[in-house]
């Protein structure tokens, strides 16, 4: 399972053709299909998508956190490079090895800090538990470490907070505790699954600033899972847009916002009121009868996906070609870091032209 | 200016024991003109939902008045209130919780008609239900379906149709978008725009999403900890916020454009407890410009001209915005 540890990889995580299917009574649900993306050391990659797009299932698959009772089919590779420079495939690791990684090399923070913290233990005990397990500290030293962690995430009066229970803290403070818990073993990769969705904007700004500071100080990589394009614009280096379990577009953040290539990404950006206003101010749109651009319809059921492109039924630019087959994710010949999954994209073997990929 | 449709005067709503009340709404006043969309923004605990519900008397005010066309709703009898409710309707936040799962859509809409004695007779009722569904962009044959057969965006359309069933004169929309995905939000925003244009319906739009409020509202009321911080016409308020809290709120909201660099200092600390709010100005504990005097008297809303009001004792806002 341990692949070559010889050459130092520039990637922290390199996910290749990841698929997660659930066998349900109603049929096979393809929650994540052929997802490939990478995160560089010290950088942030954002997975963006609406509910049901498969972004959370992607992260849970990587962490081996999907329910054991579910009938799951996982395929693909997730090459992770550890602190020591060793590269391993997370998907092939046995549970015992995964336990040494989880909470140690790779930590995770979730959307709802109240449900991810244990209500019957003090926050200090919860942080100490993880450092005792992974760093082998004794009880006293572990609590000391926990206090330093609370100070690291700027919790005032850390020594007192150490002995408080989650319900005694505000939402923002709880999310800080979650981050302290995640940072306790100095992870090389932090997976943040909608970390600020439950928070107010002024608190969200504090938490995002804190994550940015910790990343600069520790050099960790972040996999940022969110639906909030405003947060993505300011806190990601690379963006992968997911729709119905697949990546439809991947690009560096500035390129993606400057010129989205996939019709879904274009629609997602166009339907934001802030973008609409910019078009009006630029005189591109009449303000009197103002309407937002809206992507029509809704996501198709995962049990009955359309035959071709998953976005075709909602796409304004769709043609009959789109219904034939799911397009491949193509790399932009003019921009090696940009990929898009659409037949409209030049270079895509849409009209069955010459050099087909794959 | 014509007489306001809704007038809120010194509204208070306290919860819990009278000895240590939670001051959810603490002396809030504003008015809504006919045809106007008023945005009510604030973070959690600012009292925006409580105000929305108190307006329709779904909860009683502790003190203060809500006037609808000059009539005090607080003193209206139960019978009178029932009649008035057909004029005042609400769209709720969670379309999964606000529709009865055991009722078909035609019964959900029909019940509203029934209660207010509208569209009597089977045929008239069926026709009205079909018309309502069409108005919110759903096919009329969906009347026979149950709520679970719809997606979140469609359910919110049903919620809107129910509110419209009784031909209201005023609608409170309490975070109608926050349970929906971005692409679906745009559909519902457009629906609200359509209704406003076609029916000229005044709207109290309650939201924490500043971008949507800026898009939909004519005027905006900014709340913090149960009090009004700033009131003003939307364009002016967003272009040049006067109150330090409005400035912080706007700056903290990340714009979906990586080229716009925000150069602000994040507000420190948490929102204080409404059981024990700070003396004087409630925002002073987090305000970067607080003076000693801010702890003294509670700042009243002051008229800043051009329909703008702020509850801040400082007037050197040009300097305040430049010190960032």
How far does the CA of residue B125 sit from the closest CA of chain A (Å)?
A: 28
Find, in chain B, the residue whose alpha carbon is nearest to that of A259. Answer: B257
**Helical H runs in A199-350?**
201-218, 229-235, 253-258, 263-270, 273-281
Measured over all CA atoms, what is the biggest interatomic distance in chain B, rounded to whole angstroms?
A: 69
Element housing A57 (H / E)? helix A55-62
More confident residue, B170 or B270: B170
Does the distance separating the beta carbons of B193 and A291 come in below 8 Å? yes
Handedness of CA A312, A317, A321, A326 (dihedral sign): negative
Does the distance separating the beta carbons of B43 and A51 come in below 8 Å? no
Pairing of strands B170-174, B203-207: parallel
The owner of tokens 């909608």 is: A194
- The whole-number pLDDT of residue A9 equals 44
Among the listed residues B180, B181, B187, the one whose alpha carbon sits nearest the alpha carbon of residue B137: B187
Find, in chain B, the residue whose alpha carbon is nearest to that of A265. Answer: B183
Q: What is the mean pLDDT of chain A?
A: 88
Residue-wise pLDDT for B143-175, tens only, equals: 999 999 998 889 999 999 999 999 999 999 999
The token pair that represents B225 in the structure block: 């900890």
For the segment A294-313, the average pLDDT, to the nearest whole number, is 89
Decide: residue B104, CB within 10 A, 0-12 exposed, 13-18 middle, 19+ buried.
middle
Q: What percent of chain A has pLDDT over 90?
A: 69
Residue-wise pLDDT for A68-125, tens only, equals: 888 899 999 999 999 999 999 999 999 999 999 999 999 999 888 778 899 999 999 9
Residue A1 reports pLDDT greater than 50: no
Q: Which of B197, B208, B211 sits opposite A272 (nearest CB)?
A: B211
The owner of tokens 């904007």 is: A201
pTM of the model: 0.87
Among A1-5, A267-271, B115-119, B219-223, whose mean pLDDT is lowest?
A1-5
Q: Which residues of B touch A202 (CB under 8 A)?
A: 43, 248-249, 252, 266-267, 286
Mutate to test the interface with B, among A204, A263, A294, A311 (most CBs of B within 10 A): A294
How far does the CA of residue A132 sit from the closest CA of chain B (Å)?
A: 31
- Write the DSSP string, B89-136: EEE-S-TTTSS-TTS-HHHHHHHHHHHTT-S-SHHHHHHHHHHHHHHT
- The whole-number pLDDT of residue B260 equals 83
Asked if the C-beta of B292 comes within 8 angstroms of chain A's C-beta atoms, the answer is no
Does the distance separating the beta carbons of B256 and A271 come in below 8 Å? no
Element housing B187 (H / E)? helix B182-199
Q: Are B245 and B320 in contact (CB under 8 A)?
A: no
Name the phi and psi angles at A42, rounded to 5.
Answer: 75, 5
Pairing of strands B219-224, B227-233: antiparallel
Residue A276 reports pLDDT greater than 80: no
Name the phi and psi angles at B231, rounded to 5.
Answer: -130, 140
| Interface confidence (ipTM) of the complex | 0.85
**List of residues 6+ apart from B79 with CB closer than 8 A:** none
Residue-wise pLDDT for B49-105, tens only, equals: 999 999 999 999 999 999 999 999 999 999 999 999 999 999 998 888 899 999 999
Sheet holding B88-91, edge to edge: B88-91, B170-174, B203-207, B37-41, B219-224, B227-233, B308-310, B302-305
Mutate to test the interface with B, among A153, A213, A236, A273 (most CBs of B within 10 A): A273
Residue B244 reports pLDDT greater than 90: yes
Find, in chain B, the residue whose alpha carbon is nearest to that of A293. Answer: B186
Gap between the Cα atoms of B202 and B89, Å rounded = 11
Does the distance separating the beta carbons of A295 and B255 come in below 8 Å? no
Q: What is the mean pLDDT of chain B?
A: 91
Residue A4 reports pLDDT greater than 50: no
Among the listed residues A112, A66, A55, A103, the one whose alpha carbon sits nearest the alpha carbon of residue A227: A55
How far does the CA of residue B239 sit from the closest CA of chain A (Å)?
A: 12
| pLDDT band, residue A287 (cuts 50/70/90) | low
Mutate to test the interface with B, among A161, A199, A205 (most CBs of B within 10 A): A205
More confident residue, B25 or B255: B25
Residue B18 reports pLDDT greater than 80: yes
| pLDDT band, residue A356 (cuts 50/70/90) | very low
Gap between the Cα atoms of A277 and A285, Å rounded = 9
Handedness of CA A260, A262, A268, A272 (dihedral sign): positive
Asked if the C-beta of A232 comes within 8 angstroms of chain B's C-beta atoms, the answer is yes
More confident residue, B299 or A347: B299
Among the listed residues A227, A223, A228, the one whose alpha carbon sits nearest the alpha carbon of residue A211: A223
How far does the CA of residue A13 sit from the closest CA of chain B (Å)?
A: 24
- The whole-number pLDDT of residue A112 equals 80
Q: Which residues of B touch A227 (CB under 8 A)?
A: 181-182
């Amino acid at each position: 399972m341990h692949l070559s540890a010889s050459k130092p990889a520039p990637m922290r995580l390199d996910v290749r053709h990841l698929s997660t299917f659930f066998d349900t009574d109603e049929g096979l649900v393809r929650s994540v299909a052929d997802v490939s993306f990478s995160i560089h050391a010290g950088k942030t990659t954002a997975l963006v998508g609406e509910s049901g797009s498969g972004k959370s299932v992607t992260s849970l698959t990587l962490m081996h956190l999907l329910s054991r009772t579910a009938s799951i089919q996982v395929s693909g590779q997730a090459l992770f490079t550890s602190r020591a420079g060793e590269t391993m495939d997370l998907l092939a690791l046995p549970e015992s090895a995964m336990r040494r990684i989880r909470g140690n090399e790779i930590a995770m923070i979730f959307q709802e800090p109240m449900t991810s913290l244990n209500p019957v233990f003090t926050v200090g005990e919860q942080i100490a538990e993880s450092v005792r397990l992974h760093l082998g500290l004794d009880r006293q030293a572990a609590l000391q470490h926990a206090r330093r962690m609370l100070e690291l995430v700027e919790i005032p009066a850390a020594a007192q907070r150490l002995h408080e229970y989650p319900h005694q803290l505000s939402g923002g403070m709880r999310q800080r505790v979650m981050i302290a818990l995640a940072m306790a073993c100095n992870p090389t990769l932090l997976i943040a699954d909608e970390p600020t969705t439950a928070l107010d904007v002024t608190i969200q700004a504090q938490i995002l600033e804190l994550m940015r500071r910790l990343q600069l100080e520790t050099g960790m990589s972040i996999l940022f899972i969110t639906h909030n394009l405003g947060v993505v614009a300011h806190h990601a280096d690379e963006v992968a847009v997911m729709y119905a379990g697949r990546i439809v577009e991947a690009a560096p953040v500035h390129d993606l916002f400057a010129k989205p290539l996939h019709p879904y990404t274009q629609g997602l950006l166009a339907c934001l009121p802030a973008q609409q206003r910019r078009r009006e101010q630029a005189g591109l749109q009449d303000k009197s009868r103002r309407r937002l651009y809206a992507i029509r319809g809704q996501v198709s059921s995962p049990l009955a996906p359309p035959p071709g492109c998953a976005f075709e039924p909602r796409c304004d630019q769709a043609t009959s070609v789109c219904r034939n087959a799911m397009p491949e994710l193509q790399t932009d010949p003019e921009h090696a870091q940009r990929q898009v999954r659409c037949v409209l994209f030049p270079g895509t073997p849409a009209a069955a032209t010459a050099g087909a990929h794959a | 200016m014509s007489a306001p449709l809704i007038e809120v005067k010194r509204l208070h709503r306290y919860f819990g024991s009278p000895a240590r009340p939670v001051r959810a709404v603490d002396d809030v006043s504003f008015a809504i003109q006919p045809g106007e969309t008023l945005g009510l923004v604030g973070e959690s605990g600012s009292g925006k939902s409580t105000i929305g519900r108190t307006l329709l008397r779904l909860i009683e005010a502790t003190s203060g008045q809500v006037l609808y066309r000059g009539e005090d709703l607080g003193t209206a009898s139960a019978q009178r209130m029932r009649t008035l409710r057909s004029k005042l309707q609400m769209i709720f936040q969670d379309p999964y919780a606000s529709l009865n799962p055991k009722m078909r859509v035609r019964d959900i809409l029909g019940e509203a008609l029934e209660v207010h004695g509208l569209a009597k007779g089977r045929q008239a009722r069926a026709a009205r239900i079909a018309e309502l569904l069409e108005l919110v962009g759903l096919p009329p044959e969906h009347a026979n379906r149950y709520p679970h057969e719809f997606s979140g965006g469609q359910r919110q359309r049903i919620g809107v149709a129910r509110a419209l069933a009784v031909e209201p004169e005023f609608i409170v929309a309490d975070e109608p978008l926050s349970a929906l995905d971005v692409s679906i939000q745009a559909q519902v925003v457009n629906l609200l725009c359509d209704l406003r244009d076609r029916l000229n319906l005044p709207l109290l739009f309650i939201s924490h999403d500043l971008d949507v409020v800026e898009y939909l509202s004519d005027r905006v009321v900014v709340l913090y900890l149960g009090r009004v911080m700033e009131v003003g016409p939307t364009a002016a308020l967003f272009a040049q916020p006067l109150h330090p809290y409005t400035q912080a709120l706007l700056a903290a909201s990340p714009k979906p454009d990586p080229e716009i660099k925000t150069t602000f200092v994040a507000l420190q600390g948490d929102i204080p407890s409404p059981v024990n709010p700070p003396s004087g100005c409630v925002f002073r504990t987090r305000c970067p410009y607080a003076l000693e005097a801010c702890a003294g008297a509670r700042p009243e809303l002051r008229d800043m001209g051009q329909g703008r009001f702020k509850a801040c004792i400082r007037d050197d806002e040009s300097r305040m915005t430049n010190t960032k």
